[in-house]
Amino acid sequence: MKMYRGFTKMPHVQYIHTEASESLCGLKLEVNKYQYLLTGRVYDGKMYTGLCNFVERWDQLTLSQRKGLNYRYHLGCNCKIKSCYYLPCFVTSKNECLWTDMLSNFGYPGYQSKHYACIRQKGGYCSWYRGWAPPDKSIINATDP
């Protein structure tokens, strides 16, 4: 229905490929019943996805995730998300956001990934942002509600 990234590698996606079975990391999607947010990779001119990619029914995404896709995530393109698997963990540069969902959710999307976006703030620092109004500037003021 809509593509958010990858236009330079693949301007139009007609088919999405996956392995034939779940044991090979293939997906079973209920096409024509649900809409999905799919991530994947382009290889040899074809779009591929599987169990190791982020795949979620569109109606199961949080409001923050849907707003992030449409308004916020592109503002974090210069930011890097650094995973924290065990304590202590720290950011090592101003363009990093520390992702701590791995500490309590074993890699599954937790509260942070469902409700926040890593965005470049004033001063050039990246940090987690949860706001309700769509941003109207290229840099978000972290004090916005």
**Same fold: 1-60 with 62-144:** no
Tell me how far apart the alpha carbons of residues 76 and 119 are, in angstroms, rounded to a whole number. 4
Q: Residues 50-67: what's their mean pLDDT?
A: 90
**Does the pTM of the predicted model rise above 0.75?**
no
Compute the average pLDDT of residues 55-81. 88
Rounded-to-integer distance, Cα 99 and Cα 15, Å: 32
CATH for 62-144? 3.90.370.10
Q: Is the pLDDT of residue 135 over 70?
A: no
- Quick one: 78 exposed, middle or buried, by C-beta within 10 A (0-12, 13-18, 19+)? exposed
Q: Express each pLDDT in 70-121 by its tens digit.
A: 888 888 888 999 988 889 999 999 999 998 888 876 656 688 888 999 999 8
- 1-60 CATH fold: OB fold (Dihydrolipoamide Acetyltransferase, E2P) (2.40.50)
pLDDT tens column, 13-44: 888 899 988 888 888 989 889 999 888 888 88
